[in-house]
Amino acid sequence: MIDVHSHMQFNAFKNDFDQVIKKAFENGVEIIINSSTSLESSNNAVELAEKYENLFAIIGIHPHDADKVEVGWDKELIRIAKSSKKVVGIGEIGLDYYSHSSNGVVDPLIQKKVFIRQIEIANELNLPLQIHNRQAGNDILEIINDKLSIIKMDPPGMFHCMSGNIEFLKKVLDLGFFIGFDGNITYEGLAKGEDTLLPDLVKNTPIEKLVVETDAPLLAPIPYRGSRNEPAHVIIVGENIAKIKNLDKEKVEKITTENAKKIFNLS
């Protein structure tokens, strides 16, 4: 199984990092891809990927950090990408219009500018996109459709931690993107501001287009909800996908692993 979106470089794992990844690999996780939110976390993700064979890095600026970058950030991101063969994508990038208690909503114009620049960088470097969307689906689609002429990666990448409605999901699939699901597919009821249950999105995503992720340390699946999430729990995400789609666990594992390898060019 491949966890395509984790944050092992975050402080939450600083004291027991080795045990956590050991447990993941012992439980059947084959590869962990750590996604980034800032230049600093990008550097840290690359550092880990250079140290451990089965760890890879996706580097980028999260929309919530879009107002914290300084002049020249894009050149630095390109430098980091070129510094290691273990960099397999640009992310997590996108738009986030959910008002967080810590910093509200970052100015959408700044978010869009940083998102667009990173789409350009990804295509200069031939790297797939890992997109973060929270209640900003229409604007994300508008930007991607606008930039279609420069997006030459095939597949173009994936939407991580899918949310939104079926119509949005279909548009994302039509653009060729893969869809990532996390432990929150095990939560009861609708998330704040959403109108479609996550299991319904799972049902409407062909298994050939689906990948699994944890977003660790966040979004621990039931029965671990509320505690620190970790890559080993991606197995639970896979089991729940199997249940929802009425497929064998083994089939979900095999196909989602192939999908992840295809998106991120892993052999």
Nearest to 45 by CA among 54, 33, 53, 57: 57
- What is the closest distance, in whole angstroms, from the C-beta atom of residue 219 to Zn ion in the complex? 9
Say how far apart CA 167 and CA 162 lie, in whole Å: 13
- Reduced to 3 states (helix: H, G, I; strand: E, B; else coil), residue 33 is strand
- Reduced to 3 states (helix: H, G, I; strand: E, B; else coil), residue 96 is strand
CB-nearer residue toward Zn ion: 112 or 132:
132
Q: Which residue has the tokens 């996706």?
A: 58
Say how far apart CA 79 and CA 46 lie, in whole Å: 12
- What is the closest distance, in whole angstroms, from the C-beta atom of residue 129 to Zn ion in the complex? 13
CB-nearer residue toward Zn ion: 194 or 248:
194
Nearest to 243 by CA among 201, 196, 190, 202: 202
CB-nearer residue toward Zn ion: 92 or 253:
92
Omega within 30 of 0 (cis) for the link into 155? yes
Q: Which residue has the tokens 């996550």?
A: 198
Q: Contact positions toward Zn ion, by CB under 5 A? A: 92, 132, 215
CB-nearer residue toward Zn ion: 215 or 253:
215
CB-nearer residue toward Zn ion: 63 or 156:
63
- What is the closest distance, in whole angstroms, from the C-beta atom of residue 211 to Zn ion in the complex? 14
CB atoms inside a 10 Å sphere around CB 154: 8
CB-nearer residue toward Zn ion: 215 or 230:
215
Indicate the residue whose CB is closest to Zn ion: 132
Rg (CA), the chain: 17
- What is the closest distance, in whole angstroms, from the C-beta atom of residue 213 to Zn ion in the complex? 8
- What is the closest distance, in whole angstroms, from the C-beta atom of residue 215 to Zn ion in the complex? 5
- What is the closest distance, in whole angstroms, from the C-beta atom of residue 132 to Zn ion in the complex? 4
- Reduced to 3 states (helix: H, G, I; strand: E, B; else coil), residue 70 is coil
CB-nearer residue toward Zn ion: 100 or 152:
100
Say how far apart CA 93 and CA 202 lie, in whole Å: 22
CB-nearer residue toward Zn ion: 17 or 249:
17
- What is the closest distance, in whole angstroms, from the C-beta atom of residue 5 to Zn ion in the complex? 6
* Phi, psi for residue 119 in degrees, rounded to 5: -65, -40
| DSSP type of residue 251 | H
- What is the closest distance, in whole angstroms, from the C-beta atom of residue 218 to Zn ion in the complex? 7
For residue 24, the surrounding DSSP H or E stretch is helix 17-26
